[in-house]
Chains A and B, each alone.
Chain A
Amino acid sequence: MALKVDYLVRETGQNLRRNITLTVAAVLTIAVSLFLVGSGLMIRQGVQNAFQRWEGGIEFIIFMNPDATEEQVQSIEDELGSNPQIKDYTFVDQEETYDEFVELFSDQPNMVESVEAEDLPPSFRVIPTNTDADFVSELGKNFEASAGVRRVIFAADSIKQVQRVGAWISTGVLVMAIVLLTAASLLILNTIRMAMFARRNEIEIMKLVGATNSYIRIPFILEGLVHGLVGMVIAASLLFGGRAVLSDRVLDLPILENFVVTVNETWVTVLVLLLVAIVVGTVGSAIAVSRFLDV
């Protein structure tokens, strides 16, 4: 049986208006919890972006001159390959460096335009066998004097700390978000239950005259879905707004200079929120409907 759109819009709208206080409570709870989910994900992304070059135990990076010859690069590579104190290394050529650069600064087209791949230094990212600071610095400095090498930079302790703190914060925020999302589901469940109670006479008559179960239930499930989606839109606006404000301020701090979350990454986060909102909205109302609305 086809469900009529105007019927669904009218019934769902009526339900939402009738329980306006509970509706607002449910929507706000969802908005706040989804905002936290989004923030957690974005902090994680930001930390990852900021220290992308330092992932997986990389302790120092040897930057070559952009115009270093192939022989010079090859000799460094040979040296790295034959050194027993080096566990692993990767070579990042100019094209890859450029790709990373473009991704990182996708918000700033002027910056991207002003740079060409050949302006950027190719580099070796090195994972030594030992992470002891003295050992690493000794090892890294050996390369500084080699021909074609511009400079060697080390993963500072401060970077490692920020990475660790960032992980803590984003995990903490996500845990809080899960608690709040549970609360939001329960609020939706109760809101729908109130809506069904308010309409118990209509529901009784619907059953009496032979309305199908789905016809009776779908407006209530849609109500929960609307709670979720409105909350999601509020959370998404906060995330975009917050991102715009923070990217002006935070980037002045030197340690966070690459702490960037791109617009695209924000959209991906919002997409995750959309899925969570749909799940929370429909699960809450579906439970209410199946528990309190039997034939």
Chain B
Amino acid sequence: MIKLENVSKIYKGDVSALLEASADIQKGEFVFLVGPSGSGKSTFLRLLTREEVPTRGKIFVAGKDIGDLSKWKIPFLRRNIGSVFQDFKLLPNKDVAENVAFALEVIGRPKHVVKTQVPAILELVGLSDKAQNMPNELSGGEQQRVSIARAFVNRPLILLADEPTGNLDPATSVGIMKLLDRINRTGTTVVMATHDRGIVDTMRRRVIELDRGKIVRDQARGVYE
């Protein structure tokens, strides 16, 4: 599903965010990206959505080399990838249902699809009764559920999560991880960058550890360190 071949990303002034990284992630896998701040986790994720272009090496997503993807095809790559962030990135002037619907509307999905998919996904994330609430009326955990709903409503093949529990307390984090686990069980490949030792150690999934841009460990059913 995702394949990196000797990928390097070097920013101006010889700052290397990623160095000769190679990894092969199968469909349906759940992978943790761990490592200290600045080790290249976010760069790893941003390369997959083509927000960054690798300096060297090749990246394949769903069998396609995204390095030579022409500009106008990038949106179609992103429709196969859901993204979740630490800061949720919800639109404050839209309610929960509208925030989720927005993701379908702007890629031109017809109204009847929006009408059926939005309630279904809100049911999945357990927010059916908050559909009409505004984001500022929700707790952090609820807001993150909305953002996961938005990322997943289009049923992408891949879900990328950049520190999705970074702003949440441990109890709430467990709920979010259960949700990501459920999404993973539908066959969606999940790649999650995290600092949360507790989560990684309980879940026992594949762990890729980065240190100063290098992959220093790639372990099935791994722990944080």
Taking a contact as CB atoms under 8 Å apart, the answer to whether B76 and A210 are in contact is yes
Taking a contact as CB atoms under 8 Å apart, the answer to whether A4 and B79 are in contact is no
Interface residues of B in 72-103 (CB under 8 A from A): 72, 74-79, 83, 89, 91, 102-103
Please pick, from A1, A201, A295, the residue contacting B71 in the complex, using a CB distance under 8 A.
A295
Interface residues of A in 195-248 (CB under 8 A from B): 201-202, 204-213, 215-216
Q: How far is the CA of A201 from the CA of B106 in the complex (A)?
A: 14
Chain A residues with Cβ below 8 Å from B113 are none
Known A1-B108, A4-B108, A206-B106; judge A211-B89 contact (CB<8 A): no
Q: How far is the CA of A2 from the CA of B79 in the complex (A)?
A: 17
Taking a contact as CB atoms under 8 Å apart, the answer to whether B150 and A209 are in contact is yes
Known A202-B91, A213-B72, A295-B71; judge A208-B78 contact (CB<8 A): yes
Query: Does A7 belong to the interface (CB within 8 Å)?
Result: yes
CB distance from A213 to the nearest CB of B (A): 7
Query: Does B194 belong to the interface (CB within 8 Å)?
Result: no
Q: How far is the CA of A212 from the CA of B70 in the complex (A)?
A: 13
Q: How far is the CA of A31 from the CA of B154 in the complex (A)?
A: 45
Q: How far is the CA of A210 from the CA of B49 in the complex (A)?
A: 10
Q: What is the interface of chain A mostly: helix, strand, loop, or mixed?
A: helix
Among B72, B89, B106, which residue has the most Cβ atoms of chain A within 10 A? B106
Taking a contact as CB atoms under 8 Å apart, the answer to whether A201 and B91 are in contact is yes
CB distance from A13 to the nearest CB of B (A): 15
Taking a contact as CB atoms under 8 Å apart, the answer to whether A295 and B91 are in contact is no
Taking a contact as CB atoms under 8 Å apart, the answer to whether B102 and A212 are in contact is no
Contact-size category for B: 20 to 34
CB distance from A18 to the nearest CB of B (A): 11
Chain B residue nearest in CB terms to A4: B108
Chain A residues with Cβ below 8 Å from B107 are 209-212, 215
Taking a contact as CB atoms under 8 Å apart, the answer to whether B75 and A213 are in contact is yes
Q: How far is the CA of A201 from the CA of B93 in the complex (A)?
A: 11
Q: How far is the CA of A211 from the CA of B109 in the complex (A)?
A: 11
Q: How far is the CA of A215 from the CA of B106 in the complex (A)?
A: 7
Please pick, from B71, B91, B103, B108, the residue contacting A215 in the complex, using a CB distance under 8 A.
B108
Taking a contact as CB atoms under 8 Å apart, the answer to whether B77 and A210 are in contact is yes
Please pick, from B79, B89, B151, B154, the residue contacting A204 in the complex, using a CB distance under 8 A.
B89
Q: How far is the CA of A295 from the CA of B154 in the complex (A)?
A: 20
Chain B residues with Cβ below 8 Å from A216 are 106
Please pick, from A3, A7, A201, A212, the residue contacting B72 in the complex, using a CB distance under 8 A.
A212
Q: How far is the CA of A7 from the CA of B91 in the complex (A)?
A: 17
Chain A residue nearest in CB terms to B73: A212
Chain B residues with Cβ below 8 Å from A208 are 49, 78, 83, 89
Query: Does B137 belong to the interface (CB within 8 Å)?
Result: no
CB distance from B64 to the nearest CB of A (A): 15
Q: How far is the CA of A209 from the CA of B91 in the complex (A)?
A: 14
Given pairs A4-B108, A209-B103, A212-B107, 18 additional interface contacts (CB within 8 A) = A2-B108, A7-B105, A204-B89, A205-B89, A205-B91, A207-B78, A208-B78, A208-B83, A209-B107, A209-B150, A210-B77, A210-B79, A210-B154, A211-B75, A211-B106, A211-B107, A212-B72, A212-B75
Give chain A's interface residues, CB within 8 Å of chain B: 1-4, 7, 201-202, 204-213, 215-216, 295
15 A-B pairs in the complex with CB atoms less than 8 angstroms apart = A4-B108, A7-B105, A201-B91, A202-B91, A205-B106, A205-B150, A208-B78, A209-B102, A209-B107, A210-B75, A210-B76, A210-B79, A210-B154, A212-B72, A213-B72
